[in-house]
Chain A
Amino acid sequence: SQQGEEDPQALSIQEGENATMNCSYKTSINNLQWYRQNSGRGLVHLILIRSNEREKHSGRLRVTLDTSKKSSSLLITASRAADTASYFCGQGAQKLVFGQGTRLTINP
């Protein structure tokens, strides 16, 4: 069984808008990693945020971590059609636990 939850399960926005995805866990958060997956492909690593960090940026991506709420969010600013994919957060040390992901669709 999977212990993480991504929210929303699906998100459809217009190109240029910002997209926010959330993930939450039932257990204490260790390191948390966000990934992107295009249909039928492997996972592409986006950002790792450690349990003692609160926010991290990479280009158009911003990740926040709230250990008290056991949750994290991924913000994609100025979305592009190429951002259409599923996004997963994986929590843990050697064993990453993933939720079902958020399917993001960017409409031109």
Chain B
Amino acid sequence: DTGVSQDPRHKITKRGQNVTFRCDPISEHNRLYWYRQTLGQGPEFLTYFQNEAQLEKSRLLSDRFSAERPKGSFSTLEIQRTEQGDSAMYLCASSWSGQGFGEQYFGPGTRLTVT
């Protein structure tokens, strides 16, 4: 069990550019979640997948954001036409559905800075 991994750990981009983040969940976990965290705040839910199906999206996930989990394993989160307000830590978490909604384990996060 290597834990949840995220790549890259840091990303600096210019406003208007597109960025893509990757999350690899714990291998036996079928649920995957994306959260966003800004400085001094707790994480805010963005979306979650069960296997390859995206089951819920937050209103925070504007049409510039898209998340995929094509084979039910790793997931990508893409932000198009980045804005300075997108600067935040993007956190991925995973869990196993075998016991209902159980522990969510988080990755180290990807810190995005939009200049």
- Footprint of B on A, CB under 8 Å? 2, 4, 30-31, 33, 35, 40-45, 48, 88, 90, 92-101
Give CA–CA (A95, B35) in the complex, Å: 9
A-B contact pairs, 26 of them (CB 8 A): A2-B42, A2-B44, A4-B42, A30-B101, A31-B101, A31-B102, A33-B103, A35-B106, A40-B89, A41-B108, A42-B4, A42-B91, A43-B93, A43-B106, A45-B106, A48-B103, A88-B42, A90-B42, A94-B101, A95-B33, A95-B48, A96-B43, A97-B45, A98-B44, A99-B42, A100-B40
Residues on A with beta carbons closer than 8 Å to the beta carbon of B33: 94-96
Closest to A88 in B: B42
Does B105 sit within 8 A of A, measured CB to CB?
A: yes
- Footprint of A on B, CB under 8 Å? 4, 6, 31, 33, 35, 40-45, 48, 55-56, 58, 89, 91, 93, 100-109, 111
Q: How far is the CB of A16 from chain B (nearest CB, A)?
A: 28
The contact of B43 among A41, A45, A94, A98, by CB within 8 Å, is A98
Give CA–CA (A94, B48) in the complex, Å: 8
Closest to A9 in B: B40
Name A's interface SS: loop
Known A33-B103, A48-B102, A48-B103: A41·B109 in contact at CB below 8 Å: yes
Total number of residue pairs linking A and B with CB closer than 8 Å: 65
The contact of B56 among A30, A95, A98, A99, by CB within 8 Å, is A95
Residues on A with beta carbons closer than 8 Å to the beta carbon of B105: 45
Give CA–CA (A101, B89) in the complex, Å: 16
Give CA–CA (A33, B101) in the complex, Å: 11
Residues on B with beta carbons closer than 8 Å to the beta carbon of A44: 106
Residues on B with beta carbons closer than 8 Å to the beta carbon of A90: 42-43, 104
